[in-house]
Structure 1
């Protein structure tokens, strides 16, 4: 279980170590190191998802470890309330950033080996706090620091705690 405290309230996650062991261990390593504390949700798209875990309120990217293998073939779907690893156009490029799906995003599920359809690895599910996720989803956004869909007022992840 993961307890994520944000400036909007608390979100609890249950991680699926059986189906996404690499993604879960990666997330836990960053959480235990305090990497997520003080980062923001820097990309918020209503009717899609909220993304965070990599930038400070000043829009500075935090240093990360090497990328991990993409576990999108694990049959977990990008449904509303799931947490998944963010990545670039490269299949195996996920590091620390993650997103929470606010809708069923079938287009993000694994659909083949081509990078455009390989998918995004789901590794857990919100078990409490979707009201907080939906509140974050409704914030006003604009372009800032070379990023689109940035909340006008920072949505801060104040602390991420691993509950054993």
Structure 2
């Protein structure tokens, strides 16, 4: 067998192995987190393939127990519920540095999608997140500009959307804070993804 034949065989084997690894990575189950609230439990599947930076950031906050005993502090019926940043006493929790905005990943702010909250600066998301209760296309990426960046979707509710909707319909004060405190008791990573 010639040296060129051996090289060709080795390159073919490497290409086949590389393809096999990328296929298995794509078919690997996506992580699922359980959001336990005083109004019920929500399961969210995180899209680590489309939003790797955002999911890694979120899971680090989960691991650090950042979200335990925070609240859904902003609720707008027919729009979204937002949480993960404030204690029950409405004290804002300290966070790590902001992350890259991955809103250009092809995921949309559809009903049940979870996305990162941020300020007017497109690259300012830290820990706060929101869950859409409507198809909020105005929040999607359109272009890489301050106005067009949109909000990075990084997963979707796979169980407990009834809980999300129940929270979204609570009466609020003029600043959109629910009159009834909605506590995020904990967010934990599930061992096995569950879908219903």
Supply the distance in 2 between the matched residues of 1:46 and 1:109 (Cα, whole angstroms): 19
- RMSD over aligned CA atoms reads 0.7
Q: Could you list the structure 1 runs, at least 4 aligned residues long, displaced by more than 2 angstroms after superposition.
A: none
Tell me, yes or no, if structure 1 residue 56 matches structure 2 residue 87. Answer: yes
Q: 1:115 aligns with which of 139, 142, 146?
A: 146
Higher helix share: 2
Q: Which runs of 5+ in 2 are unaligned?
A: 1-31, 192-196
Supply the distance in 1 between the matched residues of 2:66 and 2:181 (Cα, whole angstroms): 17
Residue matched to 1:151: 178
Higher strand share: 1
Q: Which runs of 5+ in 1 are unaligned?
A: none
**Pairs within 5 Å for 1:90-129:** 90-129=121-160
Q: How many residues align?
A: 160
Larger Rg: 2
Higher normalized contact order (CA 8 Å, seq sep 6+, divided by chain length):
1
Supply the distance in 2 between the matched residues of 1:112 and 1:127 (Cα, whole angstroms): 29
Q: 1:115 Cα shift?
A: 1.3
Length-normalised TM-score, structure 1: 0.96
Residue matched to 2:187: 160
